[in-house]
Structure 1
Amino acid sequence: MSQLDNAPPESGSLAELARRHGLRPAIARPRLPVYTRQLWERRHFILTYATSRNVSKYSGSALGQLWQVLTPLLNAAIYYVMFGLILGGSKNIDNYPAFLLTGMFVFTYTQRTVTAGAKSISGNLSLIRALHFPRASLPLAYTIQELQQLTISMGVLLVIVTVTGEYPTWFWLMVPIVLALQTSFNIGAGLVLARLGSTLRDLSQLLPFIMRTWLYASGVFFAIHDKVVNSARLPEWVATVMYLNPAASYIEWMRDILIGSHVPPRTVWVSCVFWAVFALIFGFWYFWRAEDRYGRG
């Protein structure tokens, strides 16, 4: 027998042989409806994973879960002194403490979800390589984790808003609707960043700068129209573009609900719905397209 007869078959012939006998790659990407069903079947795992991470996150600190509320409150206090008092950002804004805190809590939810989503794949490679499950479970679990933390923060926010002079109205019943739309956007954005973070090693270094720029462009510390049009003398369309920023849209709608004197443009409501639907659909599709490549290398 010649050496050619003992040579291993080429990869092309192996692939053809596998197809002929009905074999498929173990990590082949399932069809989108099948993938969606697999995610739903693992909903209990996703919820349990998110809850366990939430409990263990602050287990090593003395104050424990209180840091979920103290962190945004301390940030808001610093920004209030810097932007509200020193730089005069509170001028022409009724109830600036409620204005600032609402912006901080809403933006922090998106910021933390997107940042966590970017690390959800690259930070769990051992789990991905050891077990077979829909990889989208990880970004989803991180979003649920941040949503659980936000629930506590929103309770504190409603108390603070009431103490500062705003009284509960029927419009406050719309708060869960805004949070549901924002959660939909956060899921989509987290899925996109999860795929990018799995291959772009420098993303974790760039993300803090991106988040900080996004923070300053979302009207967290100032009224967008007053600052852009009246103070900076920029064209009206610049303010419109800033309002259409998804983070700014959710902040403005939440302020409209909680603060009686705050009236944003009606376009922010349309923007909130658009970003919620678009981000969820595109993000899920974009993440699913690379399902068979996560954990390699």
Structure 2
Amino acid sequence: MSETTHDGTVATGAGSASSADDGLTPAELAAKYGLAVSGARPGLPAYVRQLWGRRHFISSFARARVSAQYTQARLGQLWQVLTPLLNAAVYYFIFGLLLGTDRGVDNFIAFLVTGVFVFTYTQSSVMAGVRSVSGNLGLIRALHFPRASLPLALTLVQLQQLLMSMFVLLAIVLMTGEVPRTAWLLVVPALLLQSLFNAGLAMVMARLGSKMTDLAQLMPFILRTWMYTSGVMYSITHFTAHAPAPVQLALQLNPAAVYIDLVRFALIDSFTADQLPPHVWAVALGWALAMGVGGFVYFWKAEERYGRG
């Protein structure tokens, strides 16, 4: 198609557009024709909407991982319960019988098993988060979806495993002489806050693990140290009675210890409010919001870089 200009010359439409675009930078050309960078990071509100739109994918991915996780083991998904139980038995033998860390703790079996189960939830979420991006590069490069779906789905896997383990935990607590009471309902908000904290922490570890390939090898040592400072197999209040105030405060405000203490307070009658850190629910909520929101934003800021390079 052509047109006659004011001076009588004839120019094609394509030639006119080309002349009009001469001298424009790539960014200006993109803005002029409404083009966008392939794989560019969407805005935060749009990213949240995309995640909500993929909620069925997240839940389906989580169910598939749960089903496939123990397919090679004869006992199958029973290992979801057996693993923390065996850990609790080992810790009871070492710390309860040999080292005597049960001093000052009533109903030490319920105290220990609760600590192991609750900490295992955070520990497993962290390890799943570390591998969530680096272990799914094929999926990331083949399909377009919000990458936060992966650490969120894997955290959901760990939550499902914890819920299965809770039936065993409640049975053990009952066998140790505890009686069901209204306070047991406090387990629900405690685990919800811990789940928000775990999801944020998993997203932080997912971003770090996507670039630091050796992080998965290092994390078990870091997590073991964290466990030993979280009061899983001893009473922080009892063992820090003569420690400097800053040490006591740091150990009591440790997020893993906070969530463990809240579940113990709910389930164990002898674990009273004076063994909880001050303002414990506010601390639990603060950790959940800080890590949940902060971890999500931290992960989102590198959205366009996952699976590249």
After TM superposition, the score normalised by the length of structure 2 is 0.89
The CA distance in 2 between the partners of 1:235 and 1:199, in whole Å, is 39
Per the TM alignment, residue 203 of structure 1 is displaced from its structure 2 partner at its CA by 1.1
CA contact (8 A) 1:243 1:268 kept: no
- Per-residue deviation at 1:270? 1.9
Instruction: Return the match for 1:198 from 210, 215, 234.
Output: 210
Alignment partner of 1:125 is 2:137: yes
In structure 2, the partner of 1:260 is: 269
CA distance in 1 between counterparts of 2:283 and 2:127 reads 22
Radius of gyration: which is bigger?
2
Alpha carbons 1:47, 1:141 under 8 Å: kept: yes
Correspondence for 2:41 among 29, 32, 55: 29
Aligned residue type for 1:240: L
1:272-287 superposed matches below 5 A: 272-287=284-299
Alpha-carbon displacement from aligned partner over 1:61-116 (angstroms, at most 9, x marks no partner): 11011000000000000000000000001111100000000000000000000110
Alignment of 1:282-293 (within 5 A): 282-293=294-305
CA contact (8 A) 2:253 2:277 kept: no
State the Cα distance separating 1:156 from its structure 2 match. Answer: 0.7
Amino acid of the structure 2 residue aligned with 1:258: L
Residue deviations 1:211-243 (CA, integer Å, cap 9, x gap): 0110000000100021122xxx31133122111
The match for 2:88 among 65, 71, 76 is 76
Structure 2: which amino acid aligns with 1:171? A
1:170 matches 2:182: yes
Deviation at 1:183, TM superposition (A): 0.2
Structure 2 counterpart of 1:237, from 246, 260, 268: 246
In structure 1, distance between residues paired with 2:202 and 2:58:
15
Provide the secondary structure at the position in 2 that maps to 1:260: coil
**Would you say how many aligned residue pairs link Structure 1 and Structure 2?**
283
RMSD: 1.2
Gaps of 5+ in 1: 1-11
State which of 113, 134, 140 in structure 2 corresponds to 1:101: 113
**SS in structure 1 of the partner of residue 240 of structure 2:** helix
What is the one-letter code of the residue matched to 1:47? S
Q: Which runs of 5+ in 2 are unaligned?
A: 1-23
Provide the identity percentage.
56
Query: Does residue 179 of structure 1 match 2:191?
Result: yes
Aligned-residue offset at 1:266: 3.4
In the alignment, what sits opposite 2:9? none
1:219 partner SS: coil
* Structure 1 residue ranges, 4+ long, deviating more than 6 angstroms after superposition: none
